[in-house]
Amino acid sequence: MGNEQQLLDHLKWMTAELRQSRRRLHEAESSMREPIAVIGMACRFPGGASSPEGLWRLLDGGSDAMSGFPTDRGWDLDRLYSPDPERPGTSYVREGGFLHDAGDFDPGLFGISPREALAMDPQQRLLLEGAWETVERAGIAPASLRGSRTGVFIGTNAQDYAQLLLADTSRKLEGHISLGNAASVVSGRLAYTFGLEGPAVTIDTACSSSLVALHLACQALRQGDCSLGLAGGVAIMSTPGIFVEFSRQRVLAPDARCKPFAAAADGTAWSEGLGLLLVERLSDAHRNGHPVLAVIRGSAVNQDGASNGLTAPNGPSQQRVIEDALAGAHLAPGDIDAVEAHGTGTALGDPIEAEALIAGYGRHRDRPLWLGSVKSNIGHTQAAAGVAGVIKMVQAMRQGVLPRTLHVDEPTPHVDWSAGPVELLTEPVPWPETGRPRRAAVSSFGISGTNAHTIIEQAPVPVPEEANEAVRLQPPRPEAPAVPWLLSAKSETGLAAQAQRLIQHLDAHPDLDTGQVAWALATTRSMLEHRAVIVGDREALREGLAALAVGEPHPAVVTGRTAPGGGKLALMYSGQGSQRPGMGAQLYQHLPVFAQALDRTCEALDPHLDRPLKPLMFGQDPELLDHTLYTQPALFALHTALTHTLTTFGITPHHLLGHSIGEISAAHTAGIFTLTDAAELITTRARLMNTLPPGTMAAINTTPTDLTPHLGPDVTIAAHNTPTTTVISGDTHAITDITNHYQQQGTKTTKLRVNHAFHSHH
């Protein structure tokens, strides 16, 4: 019998182990397929497209962003141009897509000396500015990422700035030139400046670099190598060398216009640009309350191998990378609505790409696959080309329109367009809602043969938990007669420039909601050393901005400068008596990060209560909210949700104080209790105190508690972060009853936590 029992136990153990192994395998496979959310974007492209919104306006308006060679880079323009393609040292084109303000940079913002900044590749300068903006556009303060496992994946394909520096015989910048122009430092400087501790990788696969960078960022997120990923590409032409070199190869369009898939296609057109995306696992983005602009469903990278020439594209390889990306996304060709093609406008490359797209997407379709290329508007932005296409398609999904491709006289006759329903976007095409997400693919091909294909999906529409009637019936808040606008910068000059830009934005959007601007300035921008607050209605705000922009005083403006090291912040958690019906209802309705934190806290509390807590907080049965059994859990839920909201916005306390029930809220924030343990302790305390004889409450010691926390990204902190000096006060009888309750349960971990919190520090 003993052997049979041992065998049975062993079989049970093996069965349990097998189930756990299957579960772990399923979780691992699911994580490798998890969609990746795009939570922030920033860009600088020709034609003044200094933001994703600016790029969309350029595309939606059908604008051509090409312009003459820059006059501020020391290029000998008189000798550079020659219409003769055989003439050495010259270019037979004299236009391109340029960032004419590429030399503008504020080194002080990033703690860089002017001398070091001058020796830095302008691509690095542009990346620093773009990274700051990308992170802020996701609602994250850049300083809050210091020490985080954020990865950096940057595509680049040229570092020609050093040629100018080495030609300078003054030698003033020696010692800075090497690092300032190293390819590895393109990504490394971002990690260093912002204190990012995930992988930092610079990728050079030529024109596919930024899309390869995005692919690697998505893989790193799924594998757990990083929690956030900053991915994209940059290209600045410090010298005209690329125009000279490709003039000899005769691959440039003489009019400097890309004509993707057109019969008139006669070459590519070089441009500059920067595009950056902040990406995160979709589940993490939802949990952290970050905006989801779009979703990366799948991506793939491969190589041409032995094609018919080192730089010649390979159709079968392009078709395979499409198939691999679809397989990774678990989608069929018919699920894709449009393709943002590489589409450089060359007579050789475009027909090969079109045939690969027809073969990969043209089968089993009941509607056209729309084909376009952003290069027709802004030219070929080289290492930033792929990310330019991604930003274009994200914006198109959000707007519900596919913009037209310029400079197409008629489809190229070198492609059998009848082989599949693939059509060029020669006019804007509506992109309607059809009951399934809008989806698009983006292609990039490097001159050395590295191909990349990415599949993007419309952001999922969140389905919030149905609000209770008290929340739904909240009256609309009237527009405030005066609102505060908060501005900050690293210097007084920067502060004035911020004011000037805000004036321009205000003038360009006369219907702007001043309250929404106030909210955005207060919650999505970093608080830097030099600060200003402008208070008033629209007219007063504009007048105050104008005064701030020129350094003049104004009654609506208050300016100041933070003290070195900043001040200390303490949070006080209130006790019973501060509750009221409807507390937190408006925050829950309007602030997703608060709503998610409150939901999570109530989920931990509700199993210990005889009715759901949230409806009581929001006004149902208001008399019950004054009942100790519900009051104390409700206050704890509000404390916890408010704390999570503040820390999400970068407001982190240095000290925590708690009064009565607030002591436990403070202890939880400080990391002494997990959410699970705190929820059980709170509800047990409330239940026991509810049964105490009348008058016992008077014995409670109300001395505030001072807890010095070590806060992480969420509210639940590991116990080893417990402060070294902690004092928690409370009613001696209640503490004894609670401790006895846990001892009777025999729950060792909880018992030790109670002993740690209430006895060793009492």
Residue 687 contacts residue 752 (beta carbons within 8 Å): no
- In this structure, the number of other CB atoms found within 10 A of the CB of residue 283 comes to 13
CA distance 664 to 672: 9
CA distance 347 to 354: 11
Residues 6+ apart with CB under 8 A from 760: none
Residue 733 falls in the annotated catalytic set: no
Q: What 3-state DSSP class applies to 622?
A: helix
What is the SS3 string spanning 248-276?
HCCCECCCCCCCCCECCCCCECEECEEEE
Beta strand residue intervals within 563-615, DSSP E: 570-573
Of the candidates 464, 444, 139, 437, the one whose C-alpha atom is nearest the C-alpha of residue 294 is 437
CA distance 459 to 224: 22
Query: What is the DSSP track for 43-83?
Result: EEBTTTB-SHHHHHHHHHTT----EEPPSSS---HHHHB-S
**Tokens standing for residue 447:** 């001159």
What's the CA angle centered on 319, arms 314 and 325, to 5 degrees?
Answer: 125
**Tokens standing for residue 598:** 């409150």
The sign of the torsion formed by the CA atoms of 265, 266, 272, 276 equals positive
CA distance 760 to 756: 5
Residue 258 falls in the annotated catalytic set: no
Residue 384 contacts residue 442 (beta carbons within 8 Å): no
CA distance 422 to 341: 12
Please tell me which residue in 215, 290, 380, 530 is annotated as part of the active site.
Answer: 380
Residue 408 contacts residue 261 (beta carbons within 8 Å): yes
CA distance 131 to 234: 12
Residue 150 contacts residue 195 (beta carbons within 8 Å): no
Residue 487 contacts residue 521 (beta carbons within 8 Å): yes
N residues, the chain: 762
Residues 6+ apart with CB under 8 A from 648: 288, 289, 593
Exposed, middle or buried: residue 492 (CB in 10 Å: 0-12, 13-18, 19+)?
middle
Residue 596, H or E segment: helix 592-605
Sort residue 577 into left (φ over 0), alpha (ψ -120 to 50) or beta.
Answer: left
The strand pair at 369-372 and 338-340 is best described as parallel
**Tokens standing for residue 747:** 């729950």
**Tokens standing for residue 348:** 């050789």
CA distance 214 to 233: 9
Of the candidates 327, 312, 410, 321, the one whose C-alpha atom is nearest the C-alpha of residue 357 is 321
Of the candidates 253, 270, 271, the one whose C-alpha atom is nearest the C-alpha of residue 262 is 253
Please tell me which residue in 342, 530, 639, 741 is annotated as part of the active site.
Answer: 342
The sign of the torsion formed by the CA atoms of 68, 255, 253, 382 equals positive
Look up residue 44 and give its amino acid.
R
Query: What is the DSSP track for 334-356?
Result: GG--EEE------TTHHHHHHHH
Catalytic residues: 207, 342, 380
